[in-house]
Amino acid sequence: MRIPEEYLERCYAGWLGKIVGVRLGAPIEGWEYDKIRAVLGEEVFDYIVDYRDFAADDDTNGPMFFLRALEDYTCSEDLTSEQIGKTWLNYTPYEHGFYWWGGYGVSTEHTAYLNLRAGIPAPQSGSIAQNGRTVAEQIGGQIFIDTWGLVNPGNPERAARFARKAAAVSHDGEGVHGGMFVAACIAEAFVQRDIRAVVEKGLSLLPEGCEYARMARDVIAFHDEHPASWRDCFEFVRANYGYDRYPGSCHIIPNSAVMVLSMLYGEGDFTRTIGICNMCGWDTDCTTGNVGAIMGTLVGLEGIDYEKWLRPVHDFLACSSVMGCLNIMDAPACACEIARLAYRLNGEDPPARWKEILEGRAARFHFDLPFSTHSFRVAGTEKFHLRNVPREEGGRCLRCAAEMAGKTVDVYYKTCYCKEDFTDGRYDPDFSPVLYPGQTVEASVCLAPEADGAFAARVFALDKNHGREILGESVALTPGVWTRLRLEIPPIEGGRIELAGVRFEHTSGPRDWLVARIDDVDFSGAPSYSVQFGLEREVQWSFRHREITQFTRLKGLWYLEDGALHGSGADFAEAYTGDVSWRDYALSGSLRPMIGETCQLMARVQGACRSYAVRLTGGGRLQLVKNVETKYRVLAERAFPWEYGQRYAFTLECVGARLRVLSEAGEELLSFEDGENPYLRGAVGVGVEKGHCAFGDLTVRGRA
């Protein structure tokens, strides 16, 4: 089946629906129906918490990162559960962030992750045979599954097949059936406008007689006999499919009954459906998130109340994977990534109007999806209106109307986040910047004829560590004429770029309101900077969550002391920074082994399973190694007598598939041409095994 014409817009709407549902349900996760009614009242059809920014959530972490298996392995139906399980290991931190880590045998995801780490492959990792029925049939089999529906528009059968493989990494039995149902419903919602038909299609792909289908059929029958009151239906669900009927902390059947109920009684209305789902209680962020994805896909952008649901989200998505640069997401970029994979999977070329964007040849922030803002923000005034509008020349752009309280107004993108940006720290988000010294920022701007006075504009960036701005050339704007602005951020030792954007400057005439348009904002070029640990800081998010700015940790104890980064681990410890898109560069840094077997500098880091490293190891050896699915292979080595407490500095140079290790004086110590599935891009990092090492400042010099 060919991909529908309006696919990308509906994919965007479906993913926004997921984010909206999770945000709506998160504050009352685990509440029962009676408590919600007593505390919040009879009707709750609005957000319960006004978040500064909504922190990471397991329900949105999983769908975006597990889908990367199509990119990392094969974008075809040949993809296996085992490969999706390896994708879990690559992007998930070890027992922190990302999931609910409730303990082995308590949290299904925790159980499956430790199985995978121990070498038990998927689907055995999530099977009833391995973990027992109770663990295998909790709700996680469907809460991470939405993107497998979004990537298979109009093809619910294929969506269900992918969902079976993906859900089986951690679940079995009814847990897998729930994943198949949700993915199939989302896929069908691209081509079907009747929610009852969508539900029926999802059920048709489940095994006959399974508990999930029996539950859904009973809810449907009750609705058909009593179509007026969803509350009566909930009482039926509570009596026949409630939490008291099923074991475990969050079983899939009671929560899925609430989902089916809400979709039937919601009658195709997005707000009513997610509101009913949320008011029923139990695992509200999971159920309302899944229902939001189905309904968002069904009704499209025009069916979601923008002011009520989408404006507060503002396209922003925080995640908590092990790669900090991937934890700063925006909804349009997510939709485009899903769509890119969907067209590849279907063997189709994207439509002409989306081709450049989906092939990665357009600007990073293009604003071509209706309502999209890419989470751009405004500073310098309290009175402003930021919205997506059509361009006269075709396409769309971002329009900013702002009262000129002072002489400047900034429209910017946050390139790194910190604890203070969030209302809470749920699911332990950590971030590395997505823009670095040495790189270039570009933007197109146009002053609207209705703007008061004369204005100029320039690109700017903020270096948080040094508390200073980097400014591009100020260019006078002509009303109605698009102007391209550019800033080459210079190399900055110890720099950390926190935001970048366009600064509008009032130059003469009336100073009332700025009205301007912004489009095609892009980050490009190679990084050139250093991480100076004397300028970084330790951030205590919560009792159990402490991180180093710019870094995300896979595992281990990491802290700052005397201008160095210290890492230690009983088995292994690794931490990463930088951007996974970096290609050719040289990483320089120093190591001071304190105790233990091995310490290393890492390059081309693509996650916990893929990277290169130069390491000092036992027996007085220097090695160049490659991490292949959590196991390090020696590529080259030599004798290199080293001692505890001494400083050793190296450069790891990566150009194409060629790797070289250089001494501080520039002498080549090791080299290797990787001809077997080389890693051609990736971030940087540090690591230690069974010991403790102090790391000096890191320098990255990229090649354009």
**Phi, psi angles (nearest 5°) of residue 53:** -140, 140
Into how many domains does the chain fold?
Answer: 3
Within a domain: 323: no
| DSSP-derived pairing of the beta strands 598-607 and 683-695 | antiparallel
| pTM tops 0.85, yes or no | yes
Euclidean distance between CA atoms 329 and 476, whole angstroms = 32
Reported as type and span, the H/E element at residue 693 is strand 683-695
Domain containing 266 equals 7-318
Residues 448 and 492 in one domain: yes
Average pLDDT for runs of 10 along the chain of length 704: 94 98 96 96 93 92 97 98 98 96 97 98 98 98 98 98 98 98 98 98 96 98 97 98 96 98 98 98 97 98 97 96 98 98 97 96 97 98 96 94 92 96 91 98 94 91 97 97 98 97 92 92 98 96 92 98 97 98 98 96 98 97 97 97 97 98 97 97 98 98 90
Euclidean distance between CA atoms 593 and 590, whole angstroms = 10
Tokens, residue 245? 């009927």
Residues 465 and 536 in one domain: no
pLDDT of residue 530: 98
Residues 385 and 443 in one domain: yes
Within a domain: 332: no
Residues 54 and 188 in one domain: yes
Contacts of 422 (CB under 8 A, 6+ apart): 51, 52, 53, 54, 55, 318, 429
Nearest to 688 by CA among 613, 581, 605, 604: 613
Residues 452 and 584 in one domain: no
Last residue of some domain: 525, 552, 586?
A: 525
Q: Which residue has the tokens 């006078």?
A: 476
pLDDT of residue 335: 98
Residues 96 and 51 in one domain: yes
Tokens, residue 195? 């929610």
Euclidean distance between CA atoms 192 and 186, whole angstroms = 10
Residues 497 and 556 in one domain: no
Residues 695 and 578 in one domain: yes
pLDDT of residue 311: 96
Measured CA distances, 137 to 81, 581, 604 (Å): 17, 37, 38
Residues 614 and 465 in one domain: no
pLDDT of residue 627: 98
Residue 556: which CATH number?
2.60.120.560
pLDDT of residue 42: 87
If one counts every other C-beta atom within 10 angstroms of the C-beta of residue 267, the result is 12
Q: First vs last Cα of the chain: how many Å apart?
A: 41
Tokens, residue 442? 């570009």
Measured CA distances, 305 to 16, 41, 273, 460 (Å): 11, 22, 13, 34
Residue 419: which CATH number?
2.60.120.260
Measured CA distances, 689 to 602, 619, 623 (Å): 13, 14, 14
Residues 493 and 642 in one domain: no
| Secondary structure string (H, E, C) spanning 581-640 | CCCCEEEEEEEEEEECCEEEEEEEEEECCEEEEEEEECCCEEEEEEEECCEEEEEEEEEC
Residues 298 and 379 in one domain: no
pLDDT of residue 451: 77
Residue 83: which CATH number?
1.10.4080.10
Residue 631 pairs in a beta bridge with 628
Residue pair 16/304 in contact (Cβ under 8 Å)? The answer is: yes
Residues 648 and 514 in one domain: no
pLDDT of residue 441: 98
